[in-house]
Structure 1
Amino acid sequence: MRSTPTLRTTLSGFGTALLLAAASPAHADDPAKILKSMTDYLTSQNTLSASFDSDIEIITPELQKIQFASSGQVKLGRPDKLRVRRTGGYADVELVYDGKTLSLYGNDAKSYMQAEMAGTVDQMIGEMQAHSGLGMPGTDLLLTNAFEELMGTATDGKHIGQGVVDGVECEHLAFRTPDTDWQIWIETGAKPVPRKYVITSKTVTGAPQYTLRIRDWKTDAFAEDTFVFKPPAGATRIDINSVAMAEFDELPPGTPTGAKK
């Protein structure tokens, strides 16, 4: 004789079904294919601009996790023009690259530095990451070989499902590499731009994260002087290798080693 389900067992079964539904993507699309559609869209645009908010975490010697928040704007003119402004609690900095000269200006430091660096934005970003010591997470999204750069060391990828970032429906992807786990939320539809990007370091105790939220994507043409750097009145020029480079970082002096990606 079948017993009549009780309210408790009915609710229990309903809860299990909800958990299973939450754990299973609505449709398991190929994460690499979705990522490729994003990188193809970005690299096909001659001009790009966007605003962003970033959070970078550090782990103190006492194993306390601290976040530092910044906001900014980016303007890109392929193949060799870039302007980035970032304002945070410890730095107000601007990077301007015109294909020949790299200029960095620190509003708080009232100083700037310049270096001759003819080439493309890709080459400039590579030089900066290799020699300056400044963290530039998120710039890999701007590269002309962004897909290869992002997937180069990936050992696993998943399409988690859908998500909503700043009111925009997105595809949520998660990838793993030997050193980091990273997630990206890509806007659905004809304009597959990245809306959120999270990098988790697995080689630092406490697994600190870098989070980037991107909005206001535009592909409009820029004014002719967008990528022209003009030192503000009273600004002091310093050597590119000066210790004052610390003024251009998004973390305060004394941040524990290994906190940045």
Structure 2
Amino acid sequence: MNERKSASNKPNNLVNVALVAAAVAFAAQPARADDPAKLLKAMADYTAAQKSISATFESDIEVVTPELEKIQFTSSGRMQLSRPDKLRISRTGGYTDVDFIYDGKTASIYGNNAKAYVQADLVGSIDQLVDLIQAKSGAAMPGTDLLLTNTYDVLMSNVVQAQHIGQGMIDGVECEHLAFRGADIDWQIWIESGARPVPRKYVITSKTVTGAPQYTLRIRDWKNDAVVEADTFVFKPPAGATKVDLDSGAMAEFDEIPPGTPSGAKK
């Protein structure tokens, strides 16, 4: 009887071993390979649907010296947005203290270090504003491509390869880690998992620049439907501030890196 019980248990033992082996093999597989374009599109649609947003951020820009030494410059700031045509970005670093304000009609940039500001009449949406400023002046506007209503189209315009790397943790929050390749730049983005797919980290690698410097943006305290005070998007020149032309040498004071520093990662 005991021998028969032992013999009858052998198939069950084999099944258990097979199930354990299958579980181990499954656990050893990479994280789910969701479509990276689909995940990015979900983020873009979600952020574009938000009428008002506020967030804080930290940005790092790397430069490579002629001696091939990498130097990194860091700044932090705050972003406030009210669609369709109001935006404020404040950024402070070791070499910059800048406030950018757009009220739908006028764009103002104030450099506290230079005690100077520039203004330009730019009537339109935030999308039109970003396109025009980047095209005309190349001004650094960290992560503004993540705030556009057509973010997906802009980000995917030069992509030749995309992959879902897996999951990552940013500030203790699980995120979907995506990587994209282009002819001149590679970029990565970490998007919060779940029902609130907001960007949490964004890294751009400039492949055509010696040393492949990177630009990194970390986004925190993202709030939708943020309460924004009425005067948030109104620029009032501080006492003693001087108005300068957009092409003035004083504009160098508005950059994230000190004058004379080699060019860094593209933003």
Report what 1:37 is aligned to.
Answer: 42
Residue type at the aligned position of 2:249: V
Report what 2:245 is aligned to.
Answer: 239
SS at match of 1:94: strand
RMSD (Å) for aligned C-alpha atoms = 1.6
Report what 2:227 is aligned to.
Answer: 221
Distance in 2 (CA, whole Å) between partners of 1:170 and 1:257 is 31
Larger radius of gyration: 2
Structure 2 unaligned spans of 5+:
1-23
Structure 1 unaligned spans of 5+:
1-16
Q: Which of 46, 55, 64 does residue 59 from structure 1 map onto?
A: 64
Report what 1:212 is aligned to.
Answer: 217
Report what 2:89 is aligned to.
Answer: 84
Distance in 2 (CA, whole Å) between partners of 1:132 and 1:244 is 13
Change (3 A) 1:259 1:34: closer
Q: What are the Cα deviations for residues 204-249 of structure 1, in whole angstroms up to 9, with x where unaligned?
A: 1111000000010012231111101111111111112211111111
Pair 1:131-2:136 in alignment:
yes
Distance in 2 (CA, whole Å) between partners of 1:222 and 1:229 is 15
SS at match of 2:219: strand
Distance in 2 (CA, whole Å) between partners of 1:158 and 1:260 is 22
Matched positions, count: 242
SS at match of 1:233: coil
Distance in 1 (CA, whole Å) between partners of 2:71 and 2:43 is 31
Distance in 2 (CA, whole Å) between partners of 1:223 and 1:240 is 28
Residue type at the aligned position of 1:241: D
Q: Which of 103, 106, 112 does residue 101 from structure 1 map onto?
A: 106
Report what 1:3 is aligned to.
Answer: none
The aligned runs of 1:76-225 (5 Å cut-off) are 76-219=81-224, 220-225=226-231
TM-score by length of 1: 0.89
Q: Which is helix-richer, 1 or 2?
A: 2
TM-score by length of 2: 0.87
Displacement over 6 Å in runs of 4+:
none
Deviates more, 1:221-230 or 1:187-196: 221-230
1:255, CA displacement in angstroms? 1.5
1:180, CA displacement in angstroms? 0.6
Distance in 1 (CA, whole Å) between partners of 2:207 and 2:44 is 25
Checking the alignment, whether the CA contact within 8 Å between 1:58 and 1:260 is kept in structure 2 is no
Deviates more, 1:57-66 or 1:221-230: 221-230
Residue type at the aligned position of 2:236: K
SS at match of 1:226: helix
1:51, CA displacement in angstroms? 0.2
Report what 2:33 is aligned to.
Answer: 28
Q: What are the Cα deviations for residues 154-206 of structure 1, in whole angstroms up to 9, with x where unaligned?
A: 00100000000011110000000101110000001111100000000100111
Distance in 2 (CA, whole Å) between partners of 1:137 and 1:202 is 19
1:260, CA displacement in angstroms? 3.7
1:132, CA displacement in angstroms? 1.1
Checking the alignment, whether the CA contact within 8 Å between 2:204 and 2:266 is kept in structure 1 is no
Residue type at the aligned position of 2:154: E
